[in-house]
């Protein structure tokens, strides 16, 4: 059984829907998930959980031209100065196709660059959600969860 920490920020609630769906699905496969909506915790508490977990996920929507969601910014700033060498990480990104192609779900490359820059290891492909997450709850999200849990189990995480 792996312990997964899922840190997320949301403005309109979409990322929370995805975070909860991922959490429920991964728990159904027998793993432990701690969900942290970032603004509800002190940064010290968040980093204490990061130390303890086997895999850290960060879920974030994309806002104007590659801006990160407001509540995540202090956390990501602190993270960029930390050493996460060897920490297993996965990114979940949300966005909408109506925005400039270059910035469509730009939260994924932004987070991945930040994480690899502090030495973290990206262990599984990101989950990308474009548009209303409710339309992905039946297929795309469960498929990704299944493949992610297969990876966890085969890798012995
Ligand atoms: C002001 C604004 C700017 C946005 N900019 C982008 C963007 O640059 N790229 C993108 O893919 N989606 C963009 N989006 C779409 C959001 O990322 C998307 O609606 C997401 O699901 C919102 O997540 P949340 O409800 O968790 O805050 C933008 C939405 C708003 C309201």
- Nearest residue to 147 via CA among 62, 94, 86, 90: 90
Distance (Å, rounded) from C-alpha 56 to C-alpha 157?
A: 12
| Structural domain contains residue 75 | yes
Q: Is the CB of 68 under 6 A from ligand 1?
A: no
For residue 56, the domain's CATH number is 3.40.50.360
Q: Is residue 157 part of a domain?
A: no
CA of 71 to the centre of ligand 1 (A): 14
Size of the chain, expressed as the number of residues it contains: 157
Angle 65-70-71 (CA atoms, 0-180°, nearest 5)?
150
Q: Is residue 156 part of a domain?
A: no
pLDDT computed for residue 66 by the predictor:
79
- Measured CA to CA, the distance from residue 154 to residue 47 in angstroms comes to 27
Residue spans of beta strands (DSSP E) within 31-147: 32-37, 55-63, 67-68, 88-95, 121-122, 127-130
pTM: 0.98
Q: Is residue 62 part of a domain?
A: yes
β-strands 32-37, 3-8 pairing:
parallel
Helix (H) or strand (E) holding 8: strand 3-8
pLDDT 10s digits, 45-78: 999 999 999 999 999 999 988 789 999 999 999 9
Q: Is residue 127 part of a domain?
A: yes
Give 26 Cα–ligand 1 centroid separation in angstroms.
Answer: 25
Atom of ligand 1 nearest to the CA of 62: 17
User: Is any ligand 1 atom within 6 A of the Cβ of residue 151?
Assistant: no
Residue 141 placed within a domain: yes
The CA 81 to ligand 1 mean position distance, Å, reads 26
Number of domains making up the chain: 1
**69 neighbors 61 (Cβ within 8 angstroms):** yes
Read off the pLDDT of each residue in 37-41 and give the average, rounded to a whole number.
98
Q: pLDDT for 82-134, tens place per residue?
A: 999 999 999 999 999 998 888 999 999 999 999 999 999 999 999 999 999 99
Report the C-alpha gap between 31 and 10 in whole angstroms: 24
3-state SS class at 22: helix
Place 157 in a pLDDT band, splitting at 50, 70 and 90: confident
């Amino acid at each position: 059984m792996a312990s997964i920490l899922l840190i997320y920020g949301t403005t309109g609630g979409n990322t929370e829907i995805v975070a909860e769906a991922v959490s429920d699905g991964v728990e159904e496969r027998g793993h432990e998930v701690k969900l942290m909506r970032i603004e509800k915790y002190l940064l010290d508490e968040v980093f204490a959980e990061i130390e303890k977990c086997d895999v850290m996920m960060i879920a974030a929507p994309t806002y104007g031209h590659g801006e990160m969601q407001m509540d995540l910014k202090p956390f990501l700033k602190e993270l960029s100065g930390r050493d996460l060498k060897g920490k297993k990480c996965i990114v979940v990104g949300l966005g909408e196709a109506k925005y400039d192609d270059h910035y469509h779900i730009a939260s994924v490359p932004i987070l991945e660059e930040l994480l690899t820059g502090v030495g973290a290891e990206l262990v599984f492909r990101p989950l990308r959600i474009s548009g209303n997450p409710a339309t992905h709850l039946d297929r795309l999200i469960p498929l990704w969860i299944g493949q992610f849990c297969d990876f966890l189990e085969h890798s012995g995480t």
